[in-house]
């Protein structure tokens, strides 16, 4: 019996239920595996058709993380096994990204309220689960980020679409630096909707139990009202808001090289948050920076389904190119924090370099995500 995700039905007034799914791998910060993706997808599809289920609550076990990302170790071993082979030869990577993105899209388009309790670390794959929920809740312990540039990937799981909708050029900054956000900045960036103290989760559940859910559109407002009453008052201003104008100036323009130079210069800034962002970018993967920039620009013109289709093609090429494998090695396997990026500089990724990453057409009839949006 796979207990990596726990499911339960919470009976509410009037006989309706709130369905709850708990990511149950606290020792790995609830990292999302392919098995967990399949369990979640199957249960969410079941709950769609169950008229007794009025809303869904998604949370993580433990106190450290909702979900810190995907199954990077599994992907790493499969990339090693398929080194030098075409991208589609790595069936595990193809299936992992296709099924993860399908699950994320299902959450974005779910016909019932979904509340994600984003307590603790919410990064990478965790952001993918949270981004599309109707009610995205953060706490005073939340740390939100898309840190893929440090592991040779780009902000995937719909991250391109999410960052393209962030105010002004903050999405460019967050994608290129992997900067972490707290509760107030998460709301500012459009990554969260409500802030509730971490110790009030049980109180939230008790309030949910008292409501007469109707399994109709009015349930969204009922859940919003509950969260509004529990909300943290006077959230402290975060660094994203504090430095909003500077970030806008830094990321303004249409040449990535100019933006990169200005972000790198932040490494000398007196503010530690900005300095860390500058240093992270400078140490990050040049290929990932270029791909993030291209996808951010494309996502502004595409539907959500097409963004997921485009991200899938780029993601499996990252697995085949070696940059993603090298990033995981340096950060999670050998932990030497000294990746040997290839290409080694941003200038080497200019021009036609990126073309192989976009060879898979989003209109390809054989695309594994062709069903999205239909």
Q: Which residues are catalytic?
A: 70, 125, 148, 156
Find residue 8's DSSP bridge partners: 20
199 CB-near residues (< 8 Å, 6+ apart) = none
Find residue 19's DSSP bridge partners: 9, 56
Buried b (16+ CB within 10 A) or exposed e, 151-181: bbbbbbbbbbbbbbebeebbbbbbbbbbbbb
């Amino acid at each position: 019996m796979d207990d990596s995700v726990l499911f339960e039905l919470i009976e509410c007034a009037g006989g309706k239920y709130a369905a709850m799914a708990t990511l149950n791998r606290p020792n790995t910060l609830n990292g999302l595996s392919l098995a967990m993706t399949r369990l979640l997808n199957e249960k969410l599809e079941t709950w769609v058709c169950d008229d007794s289920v009025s809303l869904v609550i998604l949370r993580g076990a433990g106190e450290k993380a909702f979900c810190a990302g995907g199954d990077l170790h599994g992907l790493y071993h499969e990339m090693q096994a398929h080194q030098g082979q075409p991208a589609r030869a790595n069936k595990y990577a193809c299936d992992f990204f296709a099924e993860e993105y399908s699950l994320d899209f299902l959450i974005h388009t779910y016909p019932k309220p979904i509340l994600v309790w984003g307590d603790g670390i919410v990064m990478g794959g965790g952001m993918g689960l949270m981004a599309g929920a109707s009610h995205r809740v953060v706490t005073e312990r939340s740390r939100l980020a898309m840190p893929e540039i440090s592991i040779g990937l780009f902000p995937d799981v719909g991250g391109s679409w999410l960052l393209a909708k962030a105010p002004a050029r903050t999405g460019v900054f967050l994608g290129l630096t992997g900067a972490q956000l707290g509760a107030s900045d998460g709301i500012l960036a459009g990554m969260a909707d409500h802030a509730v103290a971490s110790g009030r989760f049980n109180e939230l559940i008790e309030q949910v139990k008292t409501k007469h859910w109707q399994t109709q559109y009015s349930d969204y407002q009922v859940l919003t009202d509950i969260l509004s009453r529990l909300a943290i008052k006077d959230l402290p201003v975060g660094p994203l808001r504090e430095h909003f104008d500077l970030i806008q100036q830094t990321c303004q323009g249409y040449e990535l090289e100019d933006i990169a130079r200005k972000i790198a210069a932040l490494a000398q800034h007196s503010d530690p948050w900005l300095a860390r962002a500058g240093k992270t970018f400078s140490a990050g993967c040049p290929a990932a920076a270029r791909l993030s920039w291209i996808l951010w620009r494309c996502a502004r013109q595409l539907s959500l389904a097409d963004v997921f289709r485009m991200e899938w093609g780029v993601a499996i090429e990252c697995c085949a190119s070696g940059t993603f494998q090298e990033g995981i090695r340096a950060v999670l396997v050998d932990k030497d924090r000294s990746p040997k990026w290839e290409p080694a500089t941003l200038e080497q990724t200019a021009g036609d370099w990126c073309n192989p990453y976009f060879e898979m057409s989003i209109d390809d009839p054989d695309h594994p995500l062709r069903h999205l949006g239909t």
